[in-house]
Structure 1
Amino acid sequence: MIDPSPIRVDIVSDVVCPWCVIGYRQLARAAEATGIPLELHWHPFELNPDMPPEGENLRAHLAAKYGTTPEASRQARDRLTELGASLGFTFDYADDMRMVNTFKAHRLVEWAGESGQAHAASLALMEAFFTRREDLNDTEVLARVAASLGLSPDDARAMLESGVNAALVREKERFWTSRGVSGVPTMIFARRHAVSGAQGEANYARILQHLSQEAA
């Protein structure tokens, strides 16, 4: 018999990581299919902590960081776009799309979490970046995301400009990297089973069912 109690899942991710979008969506589908509820906790990770404020052309960034050719980049974007569509998410890539610094975005998630909105903020930021190609290093963009969650854009703006939670977010980033997290998404199930990468709906379903049966 499967225990219907929620299973805690800690998700270490970056809001500009396409596989984090895919992995989360697959996990959500698995939870829906199995009827096993989730208790989600999002944690910050920066794919590009040294990204300058102005960002960098995404295709140029991938070529410099991974040696990705234009053709390979196009194929990867097409694959992600198809995968996203199958999971109800729109990736709207363009040649002029820019990779951006995400530290402010992680600070917004941390702040939104004080109102129980960390999950909603994480998803909203992913949509802002991948679907609308917005600059997540822009305070005004982040203030609008806050407003879309029913939070005060003025308070969000003031928080970001003050740097009030910057040290806390840095500390949380270091916590996960010090424990060996070097790529995202990394999901930790029930505080003890770590899984990296987007594993697919079937694999997530097996993990959830196994943990639920253990707890029964």
Structure 2
Amino acid sequence: MNSSTPIKVDVWSDIACPWCFIGKRKFEAAAASFDGEVEVEYHSFELSPDTPVDFEGNEVEFLAGHKGLAPAQAKQMLDTVGGIAESVGLHYDFNAMHHTNTVKAHQLLHYAKARGVQLVLTEALLSAYFEQGRHLGRLDVLADIAAEAGLDRDDVLRSLESDEHLADVRADQAQAAEYGINGVPFFVFENTYGVSGAQDPAVFADVLRTVAAEIASGSAGEPSGQTDEAAAR
């Protein structure tokens, strides 16, 4: 493989998905160890599109209701996820979290992609949601985060208020359905391999090497292999 030719990785993700931030960190570790370039593009996926902007309750209550769990079970699940997040350097604050609808956040990511800063905004939004307790359902908060990344705050508000990129969000979701993606994170490598879940870095690294070898030999094909993660979502 020509080292100047990056491997394209398309990632379906949701800002409100705790495994997506964990998976991002694990994938980044794999990409850092890979002897080659990787080009990442994020795509929209809403795990709970019917969630109201202002959910009345905390994260334990949401998870208990969403999955039909007892509150104690939901809390235990969050504690487990939080511990895994800590293991990759993330500091989730479920007590401060504002569970909300993420469609506007996804529109912001498309706005950022059009301006070459999607990866910056993806990191900023995930951190804002899971670590900083910022309310990502509110346009003023999203505009503040965008401005912190160097984007024009007023233009961001204009875009979000007009649903400028809603069609792009829906197109991502339609592509996910075509691929059969029903959970995130989901990583598609060069339209050849699909990897589901926040896998260990070694799994991602192995797929990167496999795809690199196939590209070098000219045998890269259509979406095929899929690896699943047993962790609860």
Relative to the length of structure 1, the TM-score reads: 0.92
Q: Which residue of 2 aligns with 1:203?
A: 203
Moved more, 145-154 or 81-90: 81-90
SS at match of 2:50: coil
Name the counterpart of 2:130.
130
Letter in 2 for 1:142: L
Task: Give unmatched runs, 5+ long, in structure 1.
Answer: none
Shift, 1:118, TM fit: 1.2
Q: Tell me: CA distance 1:98–1:7, structure 2 relative to 1, closer, same or farther (3 Å).
A: same
For 2:127, give the aligned amino acid.
Answer: E
* Inter-partner Cα distance in structure 1 for 2:6 and 2:143: 32
Following the alignment from structure 1 to structure 2, what is the Cα–Cα distance between the partners of residues 101 and 120? 21
Deviation at 1:189, TM superposition (A): 0.7
Q: How do residues 169-184 of structure 1 correspond to structure 2 at under 5 angstroms? A: 169-184=169-184
Name the amino acid aligned to 1:26.
K
Between Structure 1 and Structure 2, how many residues are aligned? 214
User: Where does residue 112 of structure 1 map in the other structure?
Assistant: 112
* Superposed displacement of residue 129, structure 1: 0.3
Match of 1:148 in 2: 148
| Contact 2:54-2:99 within 8 A present in 1 as well | no
AA of the residue aligned to 1:38: V
- Using the TM superposition, name which of 114-123 and 170-179 deviates more: 170-179
Residue 26 (structure 2) aligns with: 26
Letter in 2 for 1:168: D
After the TM superposition, which parts of structure 1 deviate over 4 Å for at least 4 consecutive aligned residues? none
> Which residue number corresponds to residue 225 of structure 2?
none
Of all paired residues, the percent bearing the same amino acid is 36
**How far did 1:88 drift?**
2.2
Structure 2 residues not aligned, in runs of 5+: 217-233
Tell me by how many angstroms 1:198 deviates.
Answer: 1.1
Separation of aligned partners in 2, 1:212 and 1:85: 31
TM-score by length of 2: 0.85
Distance in 1 of aligned mates of 2:53 and 2:78: 24
Query: Which region of structure 1 is more displaced relative to structure 2, 64-73 or 195-204?
Result: 64-73
| Cα displacement string for residues 53-78 of structure 1 (whole angstroms, at most 9, x for unaligned residues) | 21243212211121233333233222
Distance 1:209 1:93 in 2: 36
Q: Which is worse superposed, 3-12 or 114-123?
A: 3-12
CA distance in 2, matches of 1:22, 1:47: 16
1:71 aligns with 2:72: yes
Encode CA deviations 1:147-168: one digit per residue, 9 max, x unaligned: 1111011111111112222233
Q: Is the 8 A contact 1:12 1:42 kept in 2?
A: yes
Q: Which residue identity is paired with 1:65?
A: H
Q: Aligned-pair RMSD on alpha carbons?
A: 1.7
Q: Give 3-state SS (helix, strand or coil) of 1:8's partner.
A: strand
With over 3 angstroms needed to count, the CA separation of the structure-2 counterparts of 1:212 and 1:171, relative to structure 1, is: closer
Partner of 1:139: 139
1:59: which partner in 2? 60
In the alignment, is the contact (CA less than 8 A) between 1:3 and 1:213 conserved in 2?
no
The answer to whether the Cα contact below 8 Å between 1:92 and 1:133 also exists between their aligned partners in 2 is: yes
Distance 2:98 2:114 in 1: 30
User: Which deviates more from structure 2 when the two are superposed, residues 53-62 or residues 36-45?
Assistant: 53-62
